Chain A
């Protein structure tokens, strides 16, 4: 990107300078850069006239905001009731073991971020895992390990070997 702050300026133009637009603005920023950096938070808070501390209070209250950059690939495991009954938690435990991270964390090589979500509303195909926005119905460790291998190989800056083997 030529000027990394250009898109933020464009976004700011779309939102009237009022506190009620803070959440939408932060959501758009996160969509562009994957997380909300200190600098963009500062711009957003100034633009919407929300004190920086309160803007952080908003960003830390809502689960979807991320203050640290995520890994290249995201694995989201659904823990809705139907997924729970069908072994969603075992998937989280298994992935945690495999990637050596807890949910919410990113692997050291910045390849995978593991997260959980309280129901993606696809209960009919439980348990569900979402890898980079792609839904995996009836997910199992075997299928997910295969998928992780696949996306790792597709990565432009491919990391050597198995995904965090």
Chain B
């Protein structure tokens, strides 16, 4: 990692006031020439996995090798996820804003010698719009970015997350300084109430109302009160919170400090999934740097307000995303949820009043305090204000992270920003809300994406995973997938979840193996009802949602499994057969050599055949065939 910037560029000194912060900002800005070339390499998880570290290293080497033929030495910056993950590794050249995609280490020399030194654009690295076929030079002209409204993600991809100075130049900690110098804690709560901000973790409970209840609980019980960040992003298919924590840790921290100021908390906790080591690292660096400036810790900005934070690493339990389970985990115990007869704002961590909000919710707070609740309230639609970050994944061209105002039609996100399904067919369904959510079919593609409209369609906002499915994805298989996931993750404390989910999964297993009956579908529905009513926590009671929505919208597909023992999508192994298309098969023997059961036979250069009785439908033949000759029937 390029951590030379982790150390501050100058001697840190404690900031004592808003003026100090502004002076520092000015000084830092003066050092920067906006026309100075800068090469920005995305170091988000997707780009890193695609080799962006080798790219930034190669650029560094190319720069030293070039003997600085370039008149000015460009700066090299590595940032958090820029969002357009499917085109990674991404490289941005400033100040022109030239956007290069799928960059390889061997392109580094050209980038330095052609683009940086001579301003020449390298055609092969440009993004080509699949619809118009046109090559696009600038980031802001690419449809994927053009239609987004990046507010929470605003700094991500622009700042170096390991350098607080970068964040301060971008306006970081302004909201905190403003609140501490010009606003009472009550005023901060009021602004959050006016903003209409609803929790981004899933349920969409209004954040302002939660804070108000906590204040009422404090009146009754006194302090201490705790503020907690829920960074246990366990929904499979979701990486919004990861990106925010990795790419702009200061936004989360600043939001949390603001919350602590509003509620009078002295101690906060960041509960972060252990699977996110980079997020933990960046948050830790952010905390150290904020402490050095006096923006965290004792007597923040000389206001008399003191507050500190500790990081708790999750240990791999999905249920710990649930508030009461998360609290017991911070207390050092197994993460079992508790019944919520008393709400956690009243009795949370160690029985004290506690405000728990999700990462994205906290990252919205500085925006609200900086620009005002009224301003925020006008973004999005009534009852669902602001923007929402989604991870757009699955069978969609532009996989990545998108931020849009609430209330945008689903089709705009999937088709306009996401570029639709590869191959151009309409999407089959979009799964939102993870294991607690549901599938929205193509017929409802105009559904507005906000809390209430999604709930009405039988799904939910959830934390923001949006998984696009096409005709080759089976809804029965998806239902089984989520049930198996929840069955494994169930903490086992309550009966409906512990046994009910297993029973539901067994029924779906039957469907996918051709043993299902009509009566089983009815059983699924009544079991679902029992689990919804009887489970102890929200993870259990929402668990039947994926199955319920798919039965609601894709009943024929269930019936095909039950009545004619067919899987129309060609996924359920026991209901499909692999065959070789003799017209396409060239007899290259590649599949026969790789088949683990040796069930493919044929002479060289002659079409091969698969012995269906021995085939285990592992799909290795299809993977190894270069001539698209393997058919699933």
Contact = CB atoms under 8 A, between A and B. Distances in A.
Given A121-B242, A123-B391, A137 B274 contact: no
Interface in B60-89: 85-86, 88
Nearest to B320: A62
A24 B312 contact: yes
B332 A23 contact: yes
B49 A122 contact: yes
B335 interface: yes
Max chain A Cβ within 10 angstroms of own Cβ: one of B88, B233, B237, B391: B237
Interface string B227-244: 000000111111100100
A81 interface: yes
A61 B623 CA distance: 37
A50 B333 CA distance: 10
Contacts of A87: 619
A85 B473 contact: yes
Interface string B35-50: 0000000000110111
Interface of A: 18-24, 26-27, 48, 50, 54, 57-58, 61-65, 79-82, 84-85, 87, 90, 93-94, 97, 117-126, 128, 135-137, 140-142
Interface of B: 45-46, 48-50, 85-86, 88, 233-239, 242, 274-276, 312-313, 315-318, 329-335, 391, 393-395, 399-400, 431, 434, 465, 467, 469, 473, 478, 481-482, 485, 488-489, 491, 596, 618-620, 623-624
B85 A61 contact: no
Most chain B beta-carbon neighbours within 10 Å: one of A57, A122, A142? A122
Nearest to B85: A124
B332 A123 contact: no
Contacts of A54: 333
B239 A123 contact: yes
Contacts of B239: 121-123
B46 A140 contact: no
Contact of B49 (A20, A63, A135): A135
10 contacts: A50-B332, A64-B316, A82-B237, A84-B236, A87-B619, A97-B596, A118-B234, A119-B235, A121-B276, A122-B46
Contacts of A121: 45, 233, 238-239, 242, 275-276
A128 B619 CA distance: 17
A153 B281 CA distance: 31
8 tightest A-B CB contacts, nearest first: A124-B85, A62-B315, A63-B316, A64-B316, A61-B334, A135-B49, A121-B239, A80-B236
Contacts of A135: 45, 48-49
A125 B235 contact: no
Given A120-B275, A121-B276, A125-B46, A23 B329 contact: yes
B334 to A, nearest CB: 4
Contacts of A19: 331-333
Nearest to B240: A121
A41 B377 CA distance: 51
Considering residues A79, A122, A124, A136, which has the most beta carbons from chain B within 10 angstroms of its beta carbon? A124
Nearest to B481: A84
A140 B623 CA distance: 8
A125 B49 contact: yes
A131 to B, nearest CB: 12
A27 B275 CA distance: 12
B516 to A, nearest CB: 20
Nearest to B546: A81
A141 B596 CA distance: 12
Contacts of A80: 236-237
B50 A125 contact: yes
Contacts of B234: 118-119
B548 to A, nearest CB: 17
Contacts of A94: 596, 618, 620
A106 to B, nearest CB: 18
B332 A22 contact: yes
A79 B236 contact: yes
A58 B334 contact: yes
Contacts of A128: 49
B585 to A, nearest CB: 19
A19 B332 CA distance: 6
Nearest to A22: B332
Given A58-B332, A85-B467, A136 B49 contact: yes
B316 A90 contact: no
Contacts of A136: 49
A119 B236 CA distance: 5
Contacts of B393: 81-82, 123-124, 126
A123 B434 CA distance: 13
Contacts of B235: 119
Given A27-B315, A50-B332, A121-B45, 17 more contacts: A19-B333, A23-B332, A58-B334, A62-B335, A82-B394, A84-B236, A84-B478, A94-B618, A119-B235, A119-B238, A121-B238, A122-B49, A122-B239, A123-B237, A123-B239, A123-B399, A137-B46
Contact of A63 (B317, B434, B482): B317
A137 B50 contact: yes
B600 to A, nearest CB: 16
Nearest to B233: A121
Given A63-B316, A65-B315, A90-B619, A81 B236 contact: yes
A18 B331 CA distance: 9
A118 B316 CA distance: 9
Contacts of B469: 85
